[in-house]
Amino acid sequence: QQQVKQSPQSLIVQKGGISIINCAYENTAFDYFPWYQQFPGKGPALLIAIRPDVSEKKEGRFTISFNKSAKQFSLHIMDSQPGDSATYFCAASRRGSTLGRLYFGRGTQLTVWP
């Protein structure tokens, strides 16, 4: 059973536009929601993360919006740039669990056209 569902699978955005990627989860015990960014030929790297005690977190052009009641969270990339073209993974975990392991979504391949 997939713990975290991510959509869309692929996304094409024009330079300067807003990219939005959505994720949903079922396990209400999850309390840590990171986003990872992966460039071709590289390993994923932490981009931004949020805890459920806040509804929004912003770092530069990247914003996570979190809706606890709906069990959904999303990544917004403002003023999207060609350099943002990458695969994005959302994830969820429960802090303090045996391993704190992350459950990943299946990824969204973002292409930003110049």
Partner 1 sequence: NAGVTQTPKFQVLKTGQSMTLQCAQDMNHNSMYWYRQDPGMGLRLIYYSASEGTTDKGEVPNGYNVSRLNKREFSLRLESAAPSQTSVYFCASSFEDRAGNTIYFGEGSWLTVV
User: DSSP string spanning 23-88?
Assistant: EEE--TT--BEEEEEE-TTS--EEEEEE-TT-SEEEETTEEEEEETTTTEEEEEESS--GGG-EEE
For residues 82 to 101, the per-residue mask of contacts with partner 1, x marking binding by CB under 8 A and - elsewhere, is -------x---x-xx-xxxx
Interface residues for partner 1 in 39-68 (CB under 8 A)?
41-46, 49, 51
CB of 114 to partner 1, least distance (A): 25
Q: What's the closest the beta carbon of residue 99 comes to partner 1, in angstroms?
A: 5
Nearest to 95 by CA among 48, 51, 37, 45: 51
Contacting residue, 20, 32, 48, 81, with partner 1 by CB under 8 A: 32
29 near partner 1, rule: CB under 8 A: no
Residues that bind partner 1 (CB under 8 A): 6, 9, 31-32, 34, 36, 41-46, 49, 51, 89, 93, 95-96, 98-102, 104-107
